[in-house]
């Protein structure tokens, strides 16, 4: 059993006192959180298969949360699992003011022990309305312990619609999280396999043999003829790049208007291609009554397929029109699909991977202060490759990081969260900026990437052909940055070239994102050959301990994660002891259980 389930660690010496002090507040019976989430592990049937599954509020997906801008929201997360830790990450939200609320174990907080709970404090800034989601950040739990999170527009949204619909994409396996993780960490390496199916809003018909037909059903998305909807697409996937299309709904049906919670100018698309961690909103223009009568039907398939995988996994949902047409022809008894069966043949021919999907095409709806190349103060290269020896490792700059596991050398598993270490001993754990600059961006002592508030940094992800594999393995990686969003400067095949980047950027206005794709462009190249790049620019404005990692869960287990420190000690460590003491120990007083209420710092008092 790993340390992440059993850890008890002594305190390190405290070296420097932070500058401010707040009193803790006990969240006893008189305290009422705005939202309550309970994480359990249940034996449930998914798409016809029984599986022990991590769930939030006994729901798959978890309930959709809706929160306002500019208001403190308290979300209580109960860990009701018997022998596993959990955290909750609010994917895409930047929790700069509230340092222990990002939900990254061994980076920003201790995980929540079994039979404990933690009160997360969130407050979104003005202008952050959009589509997000939330998920556990421990092990493989995020494949199922996840749900949509919507930050509401304070006024009417910029695009008028008749309503909204959510398309929440997940995958599922006929193996438990523990089995999948154990195979990934094994020596010799054992690949746990491709998913057994897609879940669309929690429903599916398994591509594996069904043993419980009561849960073999297609999800239904109801709409009305002639109306325009906002469709929110959430890529809550573990592994696969998703390609999704709507049967018999061609050009003019979909226009992208939001990417990762940033409004864009309308951009027409034929299909939705979405990676793990990405979100899009699109205007969906429904067919008219006349079109439905002409086609003689009210139901259409939504088809989703995996891309850049050795096996293409395909599943469906149903787009169902209400029978409200008064065109002189009733369709009530016609054109309805059975929900307990897939179509005999795929109704849509979806395209292969669109490498560079929406690159250089999206434009921000509002000015976003994009920094030019002349404003960039520093560039950090992130050289990405797989290394297979006894273990199978994904490495960045010849190193890897994981919060839990059985790592060989060249993978860091810290003894305690970096933010906790900084609060305890700034002298020992604050990374050396000058050393990091001279070592390509990473501090050799702490293994973290420090940046200064006010910098404009450029991060270049360059993929290389893998070593130790038979064919220089490449993969497609959805890179996610915690904290402040990045300007997506774009990507391309082969080797990164700054002159090529600037040429591609000419006349463009990049959008802000938090998750963008590093494509492979081909399946393999000779070991060490450069193939595929992606560039970010970031205005460093939000102090904190932030992760930058591939959002493929298997790759995270295999080391494809980095930790970044934004700001100096005085920027990050703002509240001193004894107030934060309960956050600095595994199972400390900031974590409640049945015997005591948590003692919590209300960090919004610093606002």
pLDDT tens profile 182-238: 999 988 889 999 999 999 999 999 877 778 888 999 999 999 999 999 999 999 999
Encoding tokens for residue 159? 């695009």
The H or E element spanning position 37 is strand 35-46
Q: What is the predicted pLDDT for the residue at 251?
A: 86
Determine the Cα–Cα distance for residues 331 and 352; give it in Å rounded to an integer. 35
Cβ contact 282:159 at 8 Å: no
Please give the structure tokens belonging to residue 438.
């001279």
Instruction: Say yes or no to pLDDT of 390 above 90.
Output: no
Quote the pLDDT of residue 524. Answer: 84
Residue 167 makes CB contacts below 8 A (sequence gap 6+) with 200, 201, 221, 231, 232, 233, 234, 244, 302, 317
Contact 172, 47 (CB under 8 A): yes
In DSSP notation, 285-301 reads EPPPHHHHHHHT-SEEE
The predicted structure's pLDDT at residue 412: 77
Which pLDDT value is given to residue 4? Answer: 43
Q: How many CB atoms lie within 10 A of CB 502?
A: 12
Q: What is the DSSP letter of 93?
A: -
- Secondary structure (3-state) at 513: strand
- What's the pLDDT score for residue 403? 81
Which residues lie below 8 Å from residue 257, measured CB to CB, with a gap of 6+? 158, 159, 230, 263, 264, 265, 266, 281, 282, 283, 365
pLDDT in tens, 396-414: 999 999 887 565 556 777 8
CA distances from 179 to 183, 190, 195, 216, 331 (A): 6, 11, 14, 24, 48
> What pLDDT is stored for residue 2 in this prediction?
42
> CA separation (Å) from 341 to 49, 211, 241, 317?
15, 15, 24, 10
pTM of the model: 0.95
Nearest-angstrom CA–CA distance, 475 and 519: 7
pLDDT value at residue 435: 97
**Partners of residue 265 on adjacent β-strands:** none
Residue 596: pLDDT over 70: yes
Query: How wide is the angle at C-alpha 546 spanned by C-alphas 389 and 171, nearest 5°?
Result: 60
CA 315 to mean position of chain CA atoms: 22
Q: What is the rounded CA–CA span in Å between residue 139 and residue 554?
A: 9
- Report pLDDT digits (tens) over 513-555: 999 999 999 988 999 999 999 999 999 999 999 999 999 999 9
State whether the Cα torsion 234-239-245-246 is positive or negative: negative
Considering the chain, what is the average pLDDT of its residues?
92
pLDDT digits (tens, 9 = 90+) for 226-279: 999 999 999 999 999 999 999 999 889 999 999 999 999 999 999 999 999 999
Q: Strands (DSSP E) along 416-529, which ranges?
A: 449-451, 456-464, 477-481, 486-492, 512-513, 515-518
Are 544 and 307 spatial neighbours (Cβ–Cβ below 8 Å)?
no
Mean pLDDT of 23-30: 96
Structure tokens belonging to residue 241: 């790049």
- pLDDT of 360 > 60? The answer is yes
Report the distance separating Cα 550 and Cα 138, nearest Å: 14
Per-residue pLDDT band for 450 (boundaries 50, 70, 90) equals: very high
Given a cut of 60, whether residue 467 has pLDDT beyond it is yes
Q: What is the pLDDT of residue 411?
A: 75
Q: How confident is the model at residue 468 (pLDDT cuts 50, 70, 90)?
A: confident
The whole-number pLDDT of residue 410 equals 60
pLDDT in the model for residue 41: 98
Q: Which two tokens stand for residue 496?
A: 């990164």
Write down the H helix ranges in 226-357. Answer: 289-295
Q: Can you tell me the mean pLDDT for 132-149?
A: 98
Tally Cβ neighbours within 10 Å of residue 285: 16
Instruction: Please provide residue 544's backbone torsions phi and psi, each rounded to the nearest 5 degrees.
Output: 155, 180
Looking at residue 91, its pLDDT comes to 98
Handedness of CA 93, 132, 169, 134 (dihedral sign): positive
pLDDT score for 327:
56
> What value does the mean pLDDT take over residues 102-119?
96
CB 564, CB 530: distance < 8 Å: no
Residue ranges of E strands in 411-560? 411-412, 449-451, 456-464, 477-481, 486-492, 512-513, 515-518, 530-539, 544-550
- Cα–Cα dist 458/413, whole Å: 26
CA distances from 548 to 263, 495, 560, 572 (A): 23, 21, 9, 18
Beta strands in 146-271 (DSSP E): 146-151, 164-172, 197-200, 220-223, 228-235, 241-246, 254-259, 262-269
**How far is CA 94 from each of CA 116, 412, 453, rounded to the nearest angstrom?**
25, 25, 15
DSSP-assigned states of every residue in 553-585: HHHHHTT-EEEEEES-HHHH--B-TTTTGGGSS
């Amino acid at each position: 059993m790993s340390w992440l389930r059993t850890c008890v660690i002594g305190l390190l010496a405290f070296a420097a006192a932070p500058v401010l002090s707040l009193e803790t507040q006990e969240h006893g019976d008189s305290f009422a959180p705005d939202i309550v989430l309970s994480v359990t592990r249940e034996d449930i049937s998914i798409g016809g298969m029984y599986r022990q599954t991590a769930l939030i509020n006994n729901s798959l997906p978890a309930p959709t949360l809706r929160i306002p801008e500019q208001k403190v929201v308290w979300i209580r997360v109960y860990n009701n699992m018997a022998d596993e830790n959990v955290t909750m990450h609010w994917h895409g939200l930047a929790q700069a003011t509230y340092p222990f609320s990002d939900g990254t174990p061994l980076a920003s907080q201790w995980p929540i022990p079994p039979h404990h709970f933690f009160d997360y404090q969130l407050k979104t800034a003005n202008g952050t309305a959009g589509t997000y989601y939330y998920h556990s950040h421990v092990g493989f739990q995020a494949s199922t312990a996840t749900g949509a999170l919507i930050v509401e527009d304070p006024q009417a949204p910029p695009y008028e619609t008749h309503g909204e619909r959510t398309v929440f994409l997940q995958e599922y396996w006929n193996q438990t999280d523990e089995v999948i993780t154990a195979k990934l960490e094994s020596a010799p390496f054992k690949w746990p396999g491709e998913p057994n199916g897609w879940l669309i809003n929690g429903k599916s018909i398994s591509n594996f043999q069904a043993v419980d037909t009561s849960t073999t059903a297609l999800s239904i998305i109801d709409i009305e003829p002639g109306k325009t909807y906002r469709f929110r697409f959430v890529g809550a996937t573990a592994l696969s790049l998703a390609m999704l299309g709507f049967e018999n709904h061609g050009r003019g049906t979909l226009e992208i208007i939001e990417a990762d919670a940033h409004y864009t100018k309308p951009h027409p698309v034929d299909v939705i291609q979405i990676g793990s961690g990405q979100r899009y909103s699109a205007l969906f223009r429904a067919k008219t009554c006349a079109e439905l009568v002409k086609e003689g039907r009210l139901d259409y398939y939504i088809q989703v397929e995996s891309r850049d995988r050795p096996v293409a996994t395909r599943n469906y949902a149903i787009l169902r029109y209400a029978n409200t047409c008064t065109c002189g022809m009733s369709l009530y008894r016609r054109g309805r699909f059975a929900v307990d069966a897939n179509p005999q043949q795929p109704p849509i021919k979806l395209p292969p991977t669109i490498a560079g999907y929406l690159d250089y095409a999206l434009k921000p709806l509002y000015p976003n202060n994009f920094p030019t190349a002349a404003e960039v103060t520093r560039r950090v290269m992130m050289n990405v490759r797989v290394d297979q020896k006894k273990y199978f490792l994904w490495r960045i700059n010849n190193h890897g990081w994981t919060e839990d596991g059985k790592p060989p050398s060249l993978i860091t598993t810290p003894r305690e969260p970096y933010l906790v270490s900084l609060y305890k001993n700034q002298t020992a754990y604050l990374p050396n900026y000058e050393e990091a600059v001279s070592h390509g961006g990473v501090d050799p002592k702490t293994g973290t990437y420090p940046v200064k508030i006010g910098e404009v940094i450029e991060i270049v992800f360059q993929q290389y052909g893998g070593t130790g594999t038979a064919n220089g393995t490449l993969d497609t990686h959805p890179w996610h940055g915690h904290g402040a969003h990045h300007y997506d400067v774009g990507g391309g095949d082969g080797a990164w070239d700054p002159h090529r980047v600037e040429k591609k950027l000419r006349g463009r206005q990049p959008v802000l994102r938090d998750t963008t794709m590093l494509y492979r462009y081909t399946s393999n190249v000779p070991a060490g050959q450069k193939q595929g790049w992606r560039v970010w620019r970031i205005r460093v404005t939000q102090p904190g301990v932030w992760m930058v990692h591939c959002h493929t869960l298997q790759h995270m287990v295999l080391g494809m994660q980095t930790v970044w420190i934004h700001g100096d000690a005085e920027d990050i460590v703002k509240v001193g002891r004894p107030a934060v003491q309960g956050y600095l120990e595994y199972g400390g007083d900031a974590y409640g259980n049945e015997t005591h209420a948590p003692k919590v710092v209300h960090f919004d008092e610093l606002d």
